């Protein structure tokens, strides 16, 4: 009796009787070796199940090569490998897509690599029963350090020296029609917290990597509890580095090679929540998480220790990132009853990030949340030239009793619309905790909201101290700091019992020094001789206006007339008893214009040169021009 044992506490009841008819006819299962290896793969049919044997071994690596590789509904492809094999590397050299709607299984703890440059599609019934990590890719070849490669397009014979772990995925002939698609919703046992799981699953702590070409999920699920799920693709020739760290595999994408689009739609899900350490990484051109789809990391209910730290969710796009639709969520949670500290959500988009919901009752957005009685929430870090939160879109960092997580935004434009929210909070009526900080850094950009749409930025705590809201922006419009939330668009930082909160919305302009004009006017006028011409100048970043928002006009600064000092400086002359005629002193005349001095500064003057007459049509100074000067 041959049984498929699922290593997660459940098993699929597929039993193959030893009296089953063995056959080398693989047409039904569509698993056909191509005969290109020194020791070729062989396939035996037992009912709907294909038993795969043979292959060429090099150290701990076992190489298989197929012309076609597809698994029908209710079928299985079972690699009958030795239990000491570390990596099973299977290439598909024909011109057809691999359609997987049954089970792929291995023995022992071997990692399984499935390479098909024409694409791989996992149907709704697809399941994994592998003992190690799983990689599905449309790459052309696997690189093994400087020793050699194993190619699905060149069909080369693997060198006996290829005994090390694979080091890279090679994309040298891009097939624009090749896709990696996952639609699997098959039952996959229970997660570490005892909750039913569905979709493709690898053993806890292992890695599940889908690398295209375009990568899409239409209702499908991926599960690697406490492990790593990574999605990504290249749109032009290049190399994706493959890291091997114990049981974990990871990818490193080149920065100068175009990537492909990745989409999750129709309630798709990626889950790494476990006893800690689960990570999700996505590298795309444009990334869309739509229609109630979820990326979920963190520490599951009843799991973890006080020292446990959840892994991170990292989304990187050379184009845009969009999270939209009812219940579309990226979350990193420390669940109720668990212990440990939350992980981070890190988002980096070259063009824009859009978070948009569709209902005020079910939010969409980014959430880091610690429901545990100990530990803190993680941070949310978003970097993009444009960030839009619309229609109840949310960025939220919360902690039930520990300190709240921080939210950091680096952007040129933050647009808040229709009930959008950026918030940190900590504590409950029974437990303390300090609110996290919100930092929005847009030194040359703007923060824009509609006043009556109730879009808020809040850093609150219950018994602890409210967090700090620190905003650096060139302009803030439609949202104002307030002591308490209102039905308008607000910026608040509050606490039930904590210290005075700190809200610092800074528009990023330098305060100009104030100078008393009276102290700079000559206090004596020479009563005799040739009077020296005096001048009166007010400077503020080069001249009037002292405030960059003021217009240049003919309004003069009011300066009171002064009393002549009889003992003031006057020329030496002999006393003449006759009547002395003294020229009338020149009055202090109101300034009537602006002129440029030899330093290029704008100065206020009473007598304008005829070459630079003042004109009342001068436009107000530009804040941006002043800032860039």
Q: What are the C-alpha distances in Å from 495 to residues 422, 435, 488, 492?
A: 17, 8, 20, 10
Q: Is the model's pLDDT at 625 over the cut of 60?
A: no
Quote the CA–CA distance of 255 and 162 in Å, as a whole number: 28
Q: Is the model's pLDDT at 12 over the cut of 70?
A: no
Quote the CA–CA distance of 112 and 104 in Å, as a whole number: 10
Strands 11-16 and 49-54: unpaired
- CATH 2.160.20 segments of the chain: 1-219
Average pLDDT estimate for 204-214: 97
Beta-sheet strands, E only, within 164-309: 168-171, 179-182, 187-190, 196-198, 200-201, 207-212, 214-218, 221-223, 228-233, 238-245, 248-252, 262-265, 269-271, 279-284, 287-290, 294-299
Q: Is the model's pLDDT at 73 over the cut of 70?
A: yes
Q: What is the pLDDT of residue 426?
A: 73
Cβ neighbour number for residue 409 with a 10 Å cutoff: 22
Strands 2-5 and 11-16: antiparallel
| Three-state DSSP state, 178 | coil
Longest dimension (CA), the chain: 148
- DSSP secondary structure of 431-464: ---PPPPEEEEEEEEEEEE-GGG--EEEEEESSS
Q: What are the C-alpha distances in Å from 35 to residues 40, 42, 96, 155, 448?
A: 6, 9, 17, 10, 64
Q: What is the pLDDT of residue 483?
A: 85
Burial 288-321 (b: 16+ CB within 10 A, else e): bbbbbbbbbbbbbbebbeeebbbbbbbbbbbbbb
Q: What is the pLDDT of residue 362?
A: 74
CB 421 within 8 A of CB 456: yes
CATH number for the domain running over 1-219: 2.160.20
Q: What are the C-alpha distances in Å from 468 to residues 328, 389, 472, 492, 507?
A: 28, 21, 13, 9, 16
Spatial CA neighbour of 55 closest among 74, 38, 77? 38
What digits encode the pLDDT tens for the residues 376-410? Answer: 889 999 999 999 999 999 999 987 766 678 999 99
Place of tokens 């979350």: 331
Q: Is the model's pLDDT at 120 over the cut of 60?
A: yes
Beta bridge partners of 477: 448
CB 547 within 8 A of CB 513: no
Element housing 366 (H / E)? strand 364-370
Q: What is the pLDDT of residue 601?
A: 65
Strands 127-129 and 196-198: unpaired
How far is the first Cα of the chain from the last one, in angstroms, to the nearest whole number?
82
Quote the CA–CA distance of 380 and 333 in Å, as a whole number: 12
Burial 524-553 (b: 16+ CB within 10 A, else e): ebebeeeeeeeebebbbbebbbeebeeebe
What digits encode the pLDDT tens for the residues 548-594? Answer: 545 545 444 454 555 555 555 554 544 444 454 555 555 555 555 65
Residue 298: CA count within 13 A, CB half-sphere? 29
Q: How confident is the prediction for the chain on average, in pLDDT?
A: 81
Q: Is the model's pLDDT at 118 over the cut of 70?
A: yes
What digits encode the pLDDT tens for the residues 410-466? Answer: 999 999 999 999 998 875 555 556 668 999 999 999 999 999 999 999 987 655 565
Quote the CA–CA distance of 146 and 167 in Å, as a whole number: 9
Q: What is the pLDDT of residue 622?
A: 39
Place of tokens 């003031």: 568
What digits encode the pLDDT tens for the residues 272-304? Answer: 999 988 999 999 999 999 999 999 999 999 899
3-state DSSP of 89-112? EEEECCCCCEEECCEEECCCCCEE
What digits encode the pLDDT tens for the residues 507-536? Answer: 544 444 555 545 544 554 444 444 445 555
CB 423 within 8 A of CB 456: yes
Phi, psi of 520 (to 5 degrees): -100, 0
Spatial CA neighbour of 58 closest among 160, 131, 138, 149? 160
Quote the CA–CA distance of 57 and 41 in Å, as a whole number: 11
Quote the CA–CA distance of 179 and 371 in Å, as a whole number: 39
Quote the CA–CA distance of 204 and 265 in Å, as a whole number: 25
Place of tokens 């610092």: 504
Looking at per-residue pLDDT, the higher value among 621 and 485 belongs to 485
Cβ neighbour number for residue 360 with a 10 Å cutoff: 11
Q: What is the pLDDT of residue 493?
A: 82
Spatial CA neighbour of 203 closest among 185, 186, 221, 189? 189
Q: Is the model's pLDDT at 11 over the cut of 50?
A: no
Spatial CA neighbour of 67 closest among 27, 104, 95? 95
Q: Label residue 4 by pLDDT band (50, 70, 90).
A: very low
Average pLDDT estimate for 177-189: 97
- Predicted TM-score (pTM) of the model is 0.77
Q: What is the pLDDT of residue 23?
A: 35
Quote the CA–CA distance of 554 and 615 in Å, as a whole number: 9
Degrees, nearest 5: CA angle 192-323-319: 115
Residue 259: CA count within 13 A, CB half-sphere? 26
Quote the CA–CA distance of 511 and 494 in Å, as a whole number: 28
What digits encode the pLDDT tens for the residues 326-384? Answer: 999 999 999 888 889 889 999 999 999 999 998 667 789 999 988 876 778 899 999 99
Q: Is the model's pLDDT at 99 over the cut of 90?
A: yes
Q: How far does Cα 543 stand from its chain's mean position? A: 44
């Amino acid at each position: 009796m041959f049984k498929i044992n699922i290593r997660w506490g459940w098993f699929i009841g597929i039993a193959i009787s030893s009296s089953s008819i063995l056959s080398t006819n693989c047409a039904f299962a569509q698993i056909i070796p191509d005969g290109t290896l020194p020791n070729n793969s062989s396939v035996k049919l037992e009912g709907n199940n294909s038993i795969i044997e043979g292959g060429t071994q090099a150290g701990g690596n076992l190489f298989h090569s197929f012309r076609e590789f597809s698994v029908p509904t209710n079928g299985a492809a079972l690699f009958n490998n030795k239990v000491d094999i570390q990596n099973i590397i299977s290439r598909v050299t024909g011109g057809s897509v691999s359609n997987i709607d049954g089970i792929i299984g291995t023995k022992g703890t071997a990692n399984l690599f499935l390479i098909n440059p024409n694409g791989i599609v996992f149907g709704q019934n697809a399941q994994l029963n592998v003992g190690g990590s799983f990689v599905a890719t449309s790459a052309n070849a696997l690189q093994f350090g400087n020793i050699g490669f194993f190619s699905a397009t060149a069909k080369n014979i693997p060198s006996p020296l290829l005994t090390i772990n694979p080091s890279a995925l090679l994309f040298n002939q891009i097939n624009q029609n090749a896709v990696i698609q996952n639609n699997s919703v098959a039952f996959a046992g229970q997660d570490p917290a005892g909750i039913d799981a569905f979709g493709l699953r690898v053993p806890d702590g292992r890695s599940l990597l889908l690398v295209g070409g375009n990568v899409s999920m239409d209702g499908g699920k991926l599960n690697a509890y406490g492990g790593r799920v990574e999605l990504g693709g290249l749109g032009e020739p290049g190399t994706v580095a493959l890291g091997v760290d114990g049981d974990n595999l990871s990818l490193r994408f080149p920065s100068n090679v175009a990537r492909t689009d990745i989409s999750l739609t129709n309630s798709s899900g990626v889950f790494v929540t476990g006893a800690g350490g689960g990570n999700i990484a996505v590298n795309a051109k444009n990334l869309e998480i739509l229609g109630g789809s979820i990326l979920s990391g963190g520490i599951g209910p009843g799991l973890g220790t006080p020292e446990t730290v959840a892994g991170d969710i990292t989304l990187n796009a050379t184009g845009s990132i969009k999270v939209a639709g009812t219940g579309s969520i990226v979350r990193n949670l420390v669940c109720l009853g668990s212990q440990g500290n939350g992980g981070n959500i890190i988002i980096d988009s070259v063009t824009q990030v859009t978070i948009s919901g569709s209902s005020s009752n079910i939010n969409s957005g980014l959430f880091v949340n610690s429901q545990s009685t100990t530990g803190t929430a993680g941070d949310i870090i978003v970097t993009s030239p444009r960030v839009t939160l619309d229609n109840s879109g949310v960025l939220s960092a919360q902690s039930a009793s520990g300190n709240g997580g921080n939210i950091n935004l680096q952007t040129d434009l933050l647009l808040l619309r229709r009930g959008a929210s950026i918030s940190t909070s900590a504590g409950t009526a029974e437990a303390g905790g300090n609110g996290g900080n919100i930092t929005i850094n847009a030194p040359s950009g703007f923060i824009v909201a509609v006043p009556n749409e109730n879009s808020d930025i809040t850093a609150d705590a219950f018994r602890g101290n409210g967090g700090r809201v620190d905003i650096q922006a060139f302009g803030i419009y439609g949202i104002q700091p307030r002591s308490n939330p209102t039905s308008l668009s607000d910026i608040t930082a509050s606490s039930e019992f904590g210290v005075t909160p700190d809200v610092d919305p800074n528009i990023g302009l330098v305060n100009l020094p104030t100078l008393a004009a009276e102290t700079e006017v000559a206090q004596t006028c020479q009563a005799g001789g040739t009077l020296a011409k005096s001048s009166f100048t007010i400077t503020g970043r080069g001249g009037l206006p002292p405030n960059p928002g003021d217009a240049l006009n003919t309004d003069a600064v009011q300066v009171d007339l002064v009393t002549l000092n009889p003992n003031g400086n006057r020329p030496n002359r002999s006393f003449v008893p006759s009547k002395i005629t003294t020229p009338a002193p020149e009055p202090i005349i109101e300034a009537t214009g602006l002129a440029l001095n030899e330093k290029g500064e704008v100065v206020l003057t009473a007598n304008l040169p005829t070459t630079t007459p003042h004109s009342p049509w001068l436009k107000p100074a530009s804040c941006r021009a002043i800032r860039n000067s």
